[in-house]
Amino acid sequence: MYIIQRIVHLMIDEMDPDEISLRNASQEFEYERLARDIDNCSDVEALQQMCKFLVKLEMKTREQYSIMIEDLMTK
């Protein structure tokens, strides 16, 4: 259990949304609006669900990119 907690803390320490740039101004404004909503949320369970959703979505995105790259490489 300690190892999992340590890994999670390491991941969180490395997750700085300011390091990710968005090229589209409308997406940047939308991000800022959502970030304020998240900052104002005091429902820990909702934030936990959101975090798990985003982690899984990122994993699914990577999976899909891998499939797309494989498809391009085999053509």
Q: What is the pLDDT along the chain (75 residues), one digit of tens a residue?
A: 676 676 666 666 777 888 889 999 999 999 999 999 999 999 999 998 998 898 899 889 999 999 899 888 987
| pLDDT value of position 61 | 92
| Within a domain: 60 | yes
Number of domain units in the chain: 1
| Within a domain: 27 | no
| pLDDT value of position 4 | 67
| Within a domain: 20 | no
| Within a domain: 7 | no
pTM of the model: 0.61
| Within a domain: 15 | no
Enumerate residues 6+ apart whose C-beta is below 8 A from 31: 17, 22
| pLDDT value of position 1 | 65
| Within a domain: 55 | yes
What does residue 41 show for φ and ψ, rounded to 5 degrees?
Answer: -80, 130
| pLDDT value of position 20 | 87
Q: What share of the chain is helix, strand, coil (3-state, %, to 5)?
A: 85, 0, 15
| pLDDT value of position 11 | 67
Domain encompassing residue 75? 42-75
| Within a domain: 73 | yes
